[in-house]
Amino acid sequence: VNGNRRLPIIIGSFEAQAIALELENIKPPRPMTHDLLKNLVLSFNTEVKFIFVNELSEGTFYAQVVFERDGELVELDARPSDAIALAVRFGSDIYVSE
């Protein structure tokens, strides 16, 4: 928590661009997929509480996106790259299992 550790994960160029654009505060003229998903989540009065990169199996990382709506938490399985792209858009915490 509140650390500055790094975890190298190989991701696709589209996902890397989606993360980089948000981190650099660059707004494309039209919403990208992760922007659309953020808008969809917000339209249901829901937010991304945090993401959790929780597993490494046979060289593949797995993650959970934890949403909060009306005080209830809902977890969805996601690729870490997509989960991180959402987390940076929501300003959510990113956790990684040891």
DSSP 24-67: TT---SS--HHHHHHHHHHHTT-EEEEEEEEEEETTEEEEEEEE
Residue 1 has pLDDT above 80, yes or no: no
Q: How far apart are CA 90 and CA 71, in angstroms?
A: 17
Q: What is the pTM of this model?
A: 0.90
**Model confidence pLDDT, tens digit, residues 36-53:** 999 999 999 999 999 999
Nearest to 50 by CA among 16, 96, 5, 6: 96
**Model confidence pLDDT, tens digit, residues 51-68:** 999 999 999 999 999 999
pLDDT bin (cut points 50, 70, 90) of residue 2 is low
Residue 9 has pLDDT above 60, yes or no: yes
